[in-house]
Structure 1
Amino acid sequence: MISIQDSTQDYCAETGKFIWTLKDLNNYAVNLVPQIREKESMALHTTFKLGGPADLFFEPTCEDDLIQILDVCRHQRIPVTLIGRGSNLVVSDRGIRGMVVALNDRFSNIRMYRPKELLQSSWNEVLGEEAIRGDVYYIYVESGKSIADLSKEFANQGLAGLSFACGIPGTVGGAIFMNAGAYGASIEDVVIATRYLDENLNLQTCIGSHHNFGYRHSVFRDNNYVILGTLFMLHHSDPGLLLSEIADFTNRREKTQPLDEPSGGSVFKRPVGNYTGKLITEAGLKGYRVGGAVVSEKHAGFIVNRGNAKAMDVVELVHHIQRTIMAQNNIQLETELRFIGDYLPEELALIGSRAPE
């Protein structure tokens, strides 16, 4: 183990964690170095528009580059944090130590298969001929694709099954990771298989029930896997009907959610038999503020960044909401947001979370 005293690296004085630089790649991945940025503000890459700098930041455009950078980081013992488009994240004000790998629009290829094509592809070996139906469309989408954009593209093509996702701000990978859903539907309804890298960077495929989908949960939340892409199964419908459905969903969201302000999306998971927005509203917390973080007046289930909010503003506001709802209703609200980066354990203990490993 390298001690701080023995190392020539800089380190965060508050947490004692090393601050990594390009020189720590030690001449590995020289072909990728021009694409890697140092001290990249995470406020530029999160929908909350907050967070300190990532030591190193990389946006791969293909699987080979992704695997290469992950392998180099493992070899050099550089911590890796995977993100998508930065929704649902509250990044520490101290930033993120190590390498942030962002799977976003640059990692978003799409391939459509008709059943006959799927039977003649490598998917046949994975799924089995009996699982491939002749009356549907199969579409493989890389994990960095915007799930909202994909929803609208599918609707335009008359492909039904993903309209509910038209307002979800994350990526396909993020939607799989947390089994995203809305309007009574969820991603598990249309997913057949997911390609991923396991902890040893071996290519694997997860099929059907092995996704272990649950409410805002999948097998990927329990393991250190990297989602590469997903095979969807969709059926044909009238594009006009699908686009009308999306327009209705969008209108409902615009009326009820603070879409014009930076936020991380829904803050809390829905407690059994109740609704977080209702509980928070009845507690009189709409408009409650800590620093630049404010409980939205439009929808109490959202916290918005209104004036250069800090991550700790959000942490303290979440803590206050949880404490208030527990005192008034004896209900423990569990966060849907993910708190990542260089937090102290005692900071995250306020909201019942733990420091990222």
Structure 2
Amino acid sequence: MNINKIQEDLQQLLPSGTVRSGEVLKSYVFTQIGGKADILAAPVSYEEIRTIVTYARENHIPLTILGNGSNVIIRDGGIRGIVLQTSELSQIEIHGELLVAQCGAKIIDASNYALEHNLSGLEFACGIPGTVGGALYMNAGAYGGEVKDVLESALALNQSGEMVTLTGDDLEWGYRHSIFASGEYIVLEARFALKQGDPALIKASMDELTHLRESKQPLEYPSCGSVFKRPPGRYAGQLIQESGLQGTRIGGAEVSRKHAGFIVNADNATASDYIGLIQHVRSAVKDKFGVELETEVKIIGEE
């Protein structure tokens, strides 16, 4: 794989977007860990996304989609091929009671934009740090709300490079899952069906949820958010806490003393530290409770 040629080709194909080689990825993820990308491309339009996807497919180049990296661990060896980073696609608009947000917009910003327009339905997302694309990918949720509850439709790019609209059962909603996790589609845009509401009540709900988040989560440290999915009938954080794992460290990665469901970058952790600690936690909980914890965080890249 000729990295220089890929960079030159993409710079010609993306006159408005950004193309860099050898970019260190730790500044693009919340954990602040991770190796380099062969090529990092930041498109500024849906057409440029289609151009990158088509180029990668036709030239048999691996392609990885990266939002703002809030629930991602990138291994220390970095990512081969092209990393398509969506942060430049961040527009949010209101059409009546419909909020339309591009894939790279932050879901927190969408929640705040809804508040500014007296629209209710996205209050639950006021503390979720990911992008709209990432929120759809994993059916993000918090405090009783989920993306599937308010999503009317999604504009997506399929493997043939066609833009399609997905609704309802097309999206294959599940707990922290959607059709986008299959890799068949790339999120371009989300359309949320909201309702007019009392701005004071909307703000009060968001203020309460923000207080809960700030009081319970270790926001003072870099982290990938909640590491594990909720086991049926249990809570991952409670199982980890009752296993006596809070404060456990491998290298610079530590099981949070504030919320056991979080692993924080306490002291210049590496991805290997994180992954080793995840494996240790899973093993300890399995031994004590017989529960197999499943990771919610997405681990990508090379060793």
**TM-score for the superposition, normalised by structure 2:** 0.96
Deviation at 1:222, TM superposition (A): 2.0
Deviation at 1:211, TM superposition (A): 1.0
Question: Are 1:150 and 2:110 matched, yes or no?
Answer: yes
Question: Are 1:208 and 2:168 matched, yes or no?
Answer: yes
2:268 to 302, 308, 331: 308
May I ask how many residue pairs the two structures share in their alignment? 302
Alignment partners' CA distance in 1, 2:165 and 2:108:
24
Deviation at 1:25, TM superposition (A): 5.2
Correspondences of 1:17-96 after superposition (within 5 Å): 21-24=3-6, 27=9, 30-32=12-14, 35-96=18-79
Deviation at 1:113, TM superposition (A): 2.2
Kept in 1, the 8 Å contact 2:11–2:19? The answer is: no
Question: Are 1:285 and 2:245 matched, yes or no?
Answer: yes
1:110-144: CA deviations, max 9, x gaps?
23223xxxxxxxxxxxxxxxxxxxxxx11221111
Alignment partners' CA distance in 2, 1:273 and 1:112:
38
1:338 to 279, 298, 301: 298
1:132-180: CA deviations, max 9, x gaps?
xxxxx11221111100111112112111000000110101111111000
What SS does the aligned partner of 1:36 have?
strand
Deviation at 1:26, TM superposition (A): 6.2
Letter in 1 for 2:203: L
Moved >4 Å (runs of 4+): none
Kept in 1, the 8 Å contact 2:7–2:20? The answer is: no
What SS does the aligned partner of 2:212 have?
helix
**TM-score for the superposition, normalised by structure 1:** 0.82
Alignment partners' CA distance in 1, 2:9 and 2:289:
57
1:25 to 1:45, Cα distance in 2 relative to 1, 3 A: closer
1:69-109: CA deviations, max 9, x gaps?
222222222211001101111101000001101112x1022
1:210 to 1:224, Cα distance in 2 relative to 1, 3 A: closer
Q: In structure 2, what is the equivalent of residue 112 of structure 1?
A: 94
Alignment partners' CA distance in 1, 2:10 and 2:249:
46
Correspondences of 1:131-146 after superposition (within 5 Å): 137-146=97-106
Letter in 2 for 1:71: T
Greater radius of gyration (CA): 1
Letter in 2 for 1:265: G
Alignment partners' CA distance in 2, 1:58 and 1:223:
19
Q: In structure 2, what is the equivalent of residue 355 of structure 1?
A: none
State the identity as a percent. 40
Would you tell me which structure has more strand in proportion to its own residues?
A: 2
Letter in 2 for 1:290: I
1:254 to 214, 231, 239: 214
What SS does the aligned partner of 1:255 have?
helix
Mark the runs of 5 or more structure 2 residues left unpaired by the alignment.
Answer: none
What SS does the aligned partner of 1:30 have?
helix
Correspondences of 1:181-196 after superposition (within 5 Å): 181-196=141-156
Alignment partners' CA distance in 1, 2:116 and 2:249:
41
Alignment partners' CA distance in 1, 2:101 and 2:27:
25
Letter in 2 for 1:213: W
What SS does the aligned partner of 2:12 have?
coil
Alignment partners' CA distance in 1, 2:266 and 2:151:
37
Question: Are 1:236 and 2:196 matched, yes or no?
Answer: yes
Q: In structure 2, what is the equivalent of residue 298 of structure 1?
A: 258
1:217 to 171, 177, 195: 177
What SS does the aligned partner of 1:278 have?
helix
Aligned-residue CA RMSD (Å): 1.4
Mark the runs of 5 or more structure 1 residues left unpaired by the alignment.
Answer: 1-8, 10-19, 115-136, 344-357
Deviation at 1:310, TM superposition (A): 0.7
Alignment partners' CA distance in 2, 1:277 and 1:259:
16
Deviates more, 1:46-55 or 1:224-233: 224-233
Kept in 2, the 8 Å contact 1:22–1:56? The answer is: no
Kept in 1, the 8 Å contact 2:179–2:185? The answer is: no
1:167 to 120, 124, 127: 127
Alignment partners' CA distance in 2, 1:27 and 1:62:
18
Deviates more, 1:33-42 or 1:301-310: 33-42
1:328 to 1:234, Cα distance in 2 relative to 1, 3 A: same
Q: Which has the higher contact order (CA 8 A, sep 6+)?
A: 2
Alignment partners' CA distance in 1, 2:245 and 2:83:
35
Letter in 1 for 2:90: S
